[in-house]
Every structure is written in C-alpha cells, then in structure tokens.
Amino acid sequence: MSNRDDNFLRENNARHQLHPMIHPLISSEHPPQIIVKGQGYHVTDIDGKTYVDGIGGLWNVNVGHNRPEVKAAIIEQMDEICYYSNFAGTTTAPSIKLSAKVIEMSAQENMAKVLFSANGSDAVETALKLSRQYWKLEGHPDRTGFISLKHGYHGIQFGGTSVNGSSYYRHAYGPLMPGCYQVDSPWTYRNPYSEDPEELTDAIITQIDRLIAHNGAHTIAAFIAEPVQGAGGVIVPPAGFWPRLRALLDKHEILLISDEVVTGFGRSGSMFGARGWGVKPDIMCLAKGITSGYIPLGATVLNERVMNAWTKGVDPMGFIMHGYTATGHALGCAAAIAALDIVEKEDLPANAAAMGGRLMQGLEDLPNWSSLVGEVRGKGLMVGVDMVADKGTREPIDPGKGQGEMIAAFAREEGVIVRPAGSNIIMSPPLTIDVDGIDKIIDGLTKAFRKYEEVK
C-alpha cells in the first residue's frame, strides 16, 4: 500500500521545483504529468492511466522499467557500502568491475581507460578537458579549440554549452568558451547544398577542412559530435560522413570525441553509434544507457593513443585534476554492471535495429497525408517526426505555436508518451520494446496526427 499523498503532489506540482527546458511561468500554468510507476516499457501516471513509454524516460531507460536484476544489484551493493571516494587514495569494487566491463565492451575501439562521473554533461566536460590536457602533455599547448556540428547537443555545462549547436541553449548563458566553432550539420533534409548524400558529405567535409585551414590545425584540440544527432532533431548523417570525418581529422591529427550519451549501448542499433558507422573515435562520452537511468552515472572512455600521453612519466601536467565526488559511485556502477549484462544477454542493439525499423515503416506514410509532417527519420530506436509550416520550403513549424505539445497530448489520450522537442516529435522507447509496443506507438501517434487534421 502506498502512502503517497496525491493531493499534496498535485497542489505542489511545479510550485517549488524549477524544471529544465521550460519557462517557470509556463510550467506553473501547465504543471508536468506526474509519473508514479514503471514496468517494462509501460509507465503509469498519478491518475492511474498507463502508457507505452515512447521516450524511455529521456532516451535512457534502455532495459525497461523496474528490472529485478538491476534493483537486486543496487540493493546488494547497498548492503555492502553505498559510497566511498574514488579520488587518489581509495576506490570501491563496483567501479573496478565496471571499468573492466566498459573497456572490454569497447575493445574494438581500442579503448584503454575510463573516468567516471555522474551525468552525460559531466562525461562531455571530462572529454573536453582531458583532450586539452592530452595536447599539453604532447607538447602542443595551443591545441585548445573545438569543432562541433550545428544542431548538436552536448549537455549543459559551460564546455558542453559552448560546443552546443543550437543557439536556443546558449543565448541566456554567454559569454561562453572562446575557440569553439560549429559547422553545418550533414542533414540531408535541410541544408543549403544538396540532397545527395555524397555531395552533401563532400560539402560539409570541405567546410570543416577550410575551417581547420583558416584557424590552423595547431589550434584545434578535438572535434565532438553525436553519431546520430538526437535532441537537435534525430538527424542521421549520410553513411559516408563519419568515415570521411575520421580521415580528415587523422590528416590534421585532431582528436575525435564521439558523444555517445544517447547512442552508447545500443540505441542506434549497434553497441556504439560510431561503431555503426565503422569508425573508431579517440574518446567516447557515455551516460544514460550505461545504467538505464536507474542511478545517474557518466563515463568518459579514452583510447590507447590518448592514454599514451600519460605513460611517458610523472609530469605535473599529467595529474588528472578533474573528477567528481560521484566519480565511480558504488551504486551507479553496480546498477551499470547489471544493466549492461542485460544489454548484452538480450542483444538489445539488435532489437533496437529491428524495432526501430518497424517504427519507421509504420510511420512512413505520415508525410503523405498529414499537413504537418515533412519527414520521418531515424536510426535504431531514435526516431523523429519533422513538422513543417511549409512542405515546399521545409520551413520548420514555430515551436511557440504549441502544435508539438498538441500532438503529444493527443498521443497521450491514446496511451502513448512521445516527446515534442522544437519542431520535432521524438521517440526513443526502451530497447526492450516488442512488436506490440511498437504497434501501439504507431497507432497512437497516427491517431494523434489525424486528430490534429480534424481540429486544426
């Protein structure tokens, strides 16, 4: 029997909490839905209505809600010790075991060491700082700049915000870090160059090459990108883009940071997003799926090339003067080991590829009859519906007009949670979802767009 005080929760919803990514006045007027239970790929709200969780929490509950294996691992660790420091002199068993597991899982990428943190934003911040440190150790202290893609999302710390590719996340928080440059996204649906994937790839690679030439490769530490751009609108680059990018960066000896916070551990249909493109990054940022959201945890993984800079002797420049109280948190690491066991045992990357294909296929007709939908796109279980004000020019809808929220509300009436983000509806269900769950999302979202046609 729950002793939850529903009246208290309803009355106090959005009264004392600030919610990310919304104006406080809007969230006071439209308080968030209160989710109280989860089971598999379903969640239940405070009114007792159960939904298909079409967004997997926030792209992260990959093994599904309420998995006994993950809960048991957390409880078992709580019985031993919940927390002890991972700074210089001490560590705990789960962080040792998880570091071995992450390195084993990323052996194909020649990864060598991992530094844990608490969130994806921390994992990005760690990657940016350690890539600068790498170049200082290598005797190139001027290599401090970063290049990233427009529409990229890399979390919300100052470093991540500085390399973020959407001004929306940046304008209230400047001045940001100097020496961060954004280039056009390899986005076939919306770009000024070409719809042909190879021509587009050529155009973007040329742009990056020119930017590097203009600033001098000796000023650039790293290029950071998501293998599939998530929050920016589920932008899937042409298949040749990442290999061409890797080759270009190799030519200039620039590090490649793959921000795998969403794509890591299966979401885009391969264990890591960059692996799906046949590319080995130098640094990977991981979070979300590492624990499936049961406990917050981030991880930054460095390959042998990067770690070699630290093997030449004890240089004062080489001390890792970076890390968090939560680095290697025992409960987070215990949860991650159990969650990753499930990812491997149930081959969730393969299920993501199969179920993502079914979801895309089920929605592919939307642009043919919905006045709002310009394109449906995705890879694995990252699927986006792009909404346009004008199908001819592909001008995105104005998110301020609330059409995305309206579609999401109609979908909720049909028992499906989807996420309106900018001019897109984003879907990222648990990777454990089955045919029945996918078909419910297809049906719910289709009905939502039909209803929009009736009431618009």
Ligand X SMILES: Cc1ncc(COP(=O)(O)O)c(C=O)c1O
Binding site for ligand X (CB under 6 A): 119-121, 124, 153-155, 226, 230-231, 259, 261-262, 287
Phi-psi region of 151 (alpha: psi -120 to 50; beta: other; left: phi over 0): left
Is-contact 123 261, C-beta < 8 A?
Answer: yes
Closest among 93, 91, 39 to 337, alpha carbons compared: 93
At closest approach, how far in Å is the CB of 103 from ligand X? 21
Which one, 226 or 282, has the nearer CB to ligand X?
226
Which one, 128 or 433, has the nearer CB to ligand X?
128
* Longest distance between any two alpha carbons in the chain, whole Å: 70
Which one, 293 or 444, has the nearer CB to ligand X?
293
Which one, 124 or 425, has the nearer CB to ligand X?
124
At closest approach, how far in Å is the CB of 231 from ligand X? 5
At closest approach, how far in Å is the CB of 274 from ligand X? 12
At closest approach, how far in Å is the CB of 20 from ligand X? 9
Which one, 235 or 348, has the nearer CB to ligand X?
235
At closest approach, how far in Å is the CB of 292 from ligand X? 13
Which one, 231 or 438, has the nearer CB to ligand X?
231
At closest approach, how far in Å is the CB of 127 from ligand X? 10
At closest approach, how far in Å is the CB of 131 from ligand X? 15
Which one, 27 or 121, has the nearer CB to ligand X?
121
At closest approach, how far in Å is the CB of 393 from ligand X? 28
Q: Print the SS3 string covering the chain.
A: CCCCCHHHHHHHCCCCCCCCCCCHHHHHHCCCCCEEEEEECEEEECCCCEEEECCHHHHCCCCCECCHHHHHHHHHHHHHCCCCCCCCCCCCHHHHHHHHHHHHHCHHHCEEEEEEECCHHHHHHHHHHHHHHHHHHCCCCCCCEEEEECCCCCCCCHHHHHHCCCHHHCCCCCCCCCCEEEECCCCCCCCCCCCCHHHHHHHHHHHHHHHHHHHCHHHEEEEEECCCECCCCCECCCCCHHHHHHHHHHHHCCEEEEECCCCCCCCCCCCCHHHHCCCCCCEEEECHHHCCCCCCCEEEEEEHHHHHCCCCCCCHHHCCCCCCCCCCCHHHHHHHHHHHHHHHHCCHHHHHHHHHHHHHHHHCCHHHHCCCEEEEEEECCEEEEEEEEECCCCEECCHHHCHHHHHHHHHHHCCEECEEECCEEEECCCCCCCHHHHHHHHHHHHHHHHHHHHHC
- State which residue has the least CB distance to ligand X: 120
At closest approach, how far in Å is the CB of 262 from ligand X? 4
Which one, 118 or 306, has the nearer CB to ligand X?
118
Which one, 230 or 378, has the nearer CB to ligand X?
230
At closest approach, how far in Å is the CB of 147 from ligand X? 16
How much is the CA Rg of the chain, to the nearest whole Å?
Answer: 22
Which one, 117 or 370, has the nearer CB to ligand X?
117
At closest approach, how far in Å is the CB of 244 from ligand X? 21
CA distance 220 to 181: 10
Which one, 137 or 425, has the nearer CB to ligand X?
425
